[in-house]
Amino acid sequence: MFKLNSFRETVEAIAACSDDRALWKRYAWVYVQGDTALVDSRFYLVSNLDEDDERRVSDFGALYDLSSCLEAATFADVLCVQKRQQLHSSLEDYAIALEHYAEQDTFLEVSGGDDPKAAEPGLARELYAEYDLFLAECAPDQLSVAAREVSAVLEINIASALQGCRGLPLCLGERMTGDQCMQIEARFSALSVPLRRVTHRSFPWQ
């Protein structure tokens, strides 16, 4: 179904992909409506499925005065470069960076952007959300099975894994991608061992 999105919705939809590979599978192009400033514009995310129906996309674009803005992967790259330079970028900052790229075919350089940035709790370092995963509780009758899985995930010996399972919480990974997090969660879920997830969101306003 065709749906126009605000700039914020478009940026958040791009960032909601777990990584670049997921983005490439989901979206092909970003279309923008009219000549309004990006932050005030409406957008359409062209999926890879849409590309198989070029006529419908063309008709929809003509109806709502849409034109291609950037490839989705390039759109994401611009957001990512901007965030690396300025972790607390606003929607307006991202719009300026995208407009600069569209006009100059180069990434916008931010003053102090090359300075090392410390990771902040609750905020991802990259465009996509990041996750910490913990074994926070473990029933006594699940210790041995949990320890075997911990040993495999952390690549440590079973004795160390068992010790970790007795001294909870035990971190199973930090700043992981969504796919990495879900893979580990699935392994423990199959054993009926619950895990606790901590999310580092993509943007400060989320």
Residue 61 has pLDDT above 80, yes or no: no
User: pLDDT tens-digit profile of 149-178?
Assistant: 999 999 999 999 999 999 999 999 999 999
Per-residue CA distances from 181 to 153, 154, 167 (Å): 11, 13, 22
The pTM of the full predicted model, rounded to 2 decimals, is: 0.86
The 8-class DSSP code of residue 162 comes to H
Residue 151 confidence (pLDDT)? 97
For range 47-54, the mean pLDDT: 70
Q: Mean pLDDT of all residues in the chain?
A: 92
Beta strand ranges found along the chain (DSSP E): 5-6, 27-33, 42-47, 66-71, 130-135, 170-176, 196-200
* Whole-number pLDDT of residue 51: 60
111 within 8 A of 155, measured Cβ to Cβ: no
| Lookup result for tokens 């179904």 | 1
% of the chain exceeding 90 in pLDDT:
80
**Dist. CA 201–CA 199, nearest whole Å:** 6
CA 94 vs. chain centroid, Å, equals 15
Range 130-200 has CATH code 3.30.1390.10: yes
Least confident of 56-60, 108-112, 134-138, 151-155: 56-60
Q: Is the pLDDT of residue 56 over 80?
A: no
With cut-offs at 50, 70 and 90, classify the pLDDT of residue 52.
low
Q: Would you kindly state where each structural domain of the chain is located, as residue ranges? A: 5-104, 130-200
- Does the structure show a pLDDT above 80 at 44? yes
Residue 9 has pLDDT above 70, yes or no: yes
197's tokens: 């997830």
C-alpha dist (Å) from residue 79 to 37, 47, 90, 119, 169: 17, 19, 11, 18, 35
